[in-house]
Structure 1
Amino acid sequence: MRSTSRGPGQRAGLTRADVLTAARALLAEGGIEALSMRSLARRLGVAPNTLYSYVRSKTELLDEVLDGVLAEVRAPEADTPDPVAGISALMTSTYTVLLGHPDLVPVFLARQGARGANAVRLGEILDTLLRRAGVDESDVGQARRVLIVHAIGSAAFAAVGPDGERPLAPADVTAQFTRGLGWLLAGITAGSSPPGGAG
């Protein structure tokens, strides 16, 4: 016989989507300091222990929220004919998505990226493209981190400051991001085989 018992979250009528949406709202309102399991429970009108039916910790909650954002990133196929162009397209899409969620950029900085299923998928595609572009296996991980830092850092420069002003015009930051990405890719792939060639 199938058990009809339900966890506290189910009894409260919550879904995982409800929890993540409320967490996203708290982050938008007050940043990472505003989000705790207790504050989230207050927002949802439940006891804090109810939330553990859905997430094990604040860290996991943050990673789930960030990973939901990364679902918007448009990734090329790992076997795209020009791997360098594929890397450029992937990182440009990542940067553009981050610009669309400026309140979460500080969270990405604090977490040094994301660790959910979408983050893993995008990381695997990026690693494959780096290998195909001729990057040595021992350097792939470091190259990935450099590219991610460039995307998150550039998005942070484009964000609105605490006084409501933009220190740099978004178009200027984007132009700098694009130029910097080109420099990084030229350096990362220096000495590698031409795209589509052996190696």
Structure 2
Amino acid sequence: MARPRQTLLTRQRIVDAASALVDAEGLEALSMRRLATELGVQGPSLYNHFPTKADILDAVADGVISQVSLAAFGTADWASALRSWARSYHAVLVAHPNVVPVLAHGPGRRPAALAMADVVYGALIDAGWPPARATHIGALMRYLVTGSALGSFALGFDIDPELYERYPHLQAAPRLAEHHVAVDEGAFELGLDLLINGLLASRREDRVDDVRA
């Protein structure tokens, strides 16, 4: 009797399995041995596609970034494009929170992350922002998005009412957990509004200064 045909092991299969494992159990659950078990292969076969676990993590992180929409750049003004991109970026990271610590270190050599940085920076330069300021804006947007996805502000409060008897301004804190989605999304949207509006105001002031000069 012929032996059952084994499913071909590919880079994409490895990345998909690693992504599912990280999403379900966190970064600490990912190991070459565990991944090989999940895929039903021998551990050494993974090394034919990825030299190290870090390389797999990079591919997982880049796969997450590839889901972020950059469609607004080139079709909307710079402020609207930034807002649309930030919302997509935020939504993707909220859907894959366990990968955020990897992404927080920057794009490294990851193709999708570098392509995203290139599009955002290029759009800001095309809009007339000086290179240094465009870099600052890109970094600031990343701080807001990754920071907002690293953890829940609301879920950081204990639900025991007695804990807050000594803190008169935190009497409603035990109920924050019930509304954590609204609190966290509201905070992100507020931060995004303040950031974009501040940048728009800065541009207006720059134009006034240019006219006066």
Give TM-score, length-normalised by structure 1: 0.75
Q: Which of 96, 101, 116 is matched with 1:101 structurally?
A: 96
Distance change >3 Å, CA 13–CA 116, structure 1 → 2 = same
- Contact 2:59 2:110 (C-alpha < 8 Å) held by counterparts: yes
Match of 1:38 among 33, 38, 41: 33
Distance 1:34 1:191, change over 3 A: same
Which residue does the alignment assign to 2:184?
Answer: 173
Q: Whose Rg is larger?
A: 2
Separation in 2 of the partners of 1:190 and 1:131? Answer: 17
Alignment of 1:17-96 (within 5 A): 17-96=12-91
Q: For 2:111 and 2:153, how far apart are their aligned partners in 1?
A: 26
1:192 is paired with a residue whose SS is helix
- Any conservation in 2 of the 1:67–1:114 contact (CA below 8 Å)? no
Q: Mark the runs of 5 or more structure 1 residues left unpaired by the alignment.
A: 1-10
Q: 1:36 to 1:20 in 2, by over 3 A?
A: same
The amino acid across from 1:24 in the alignment is: S
Deviates more, 1:183-192 or 1:74-83: 183-192
- Quote the residue 1:15 is aligned against: 10
What root-mean-square deviation, in Å, do the aligned CA atoms of Structure 1 and Structure 2 show? Answer: 3.1
**8 Å Cα contact 2:68/2:89 also seen in 1:** yes
| Structure 1 residue 106: Cα displacement | 4.0
**Higher helix proportion, which one?**
2
Find out whether 1:192 has 2:192 as its counterpart: no
Quick one: distance in 2 between partners of 1:61 and 1:146?
28
**Partner-residue secondary structure (3-state), 1:53:** coil
8 Å Cα contact 2:97-2:149 kept in structure 1: yes
Structure with bigger RCO (C-alpha 8 Å, 6+ apart):
1
Q: How far has the Cα of 1:131 moved from its partner?
A: 1.8
2:100 partner amino acid: V
- The amino acid across from 2:89 in the alignment is T
1:8 paired residue number: none
| Structure 2, gaps ≥5 residues long | 1-5, 160-175
Contact 2:93 2:100 in 1 (8 A): yes
- Native 8 Å contact 2:68 2:88 kept in 1: yes
Partner of 2:165: none
2:131 corresponds to: 137
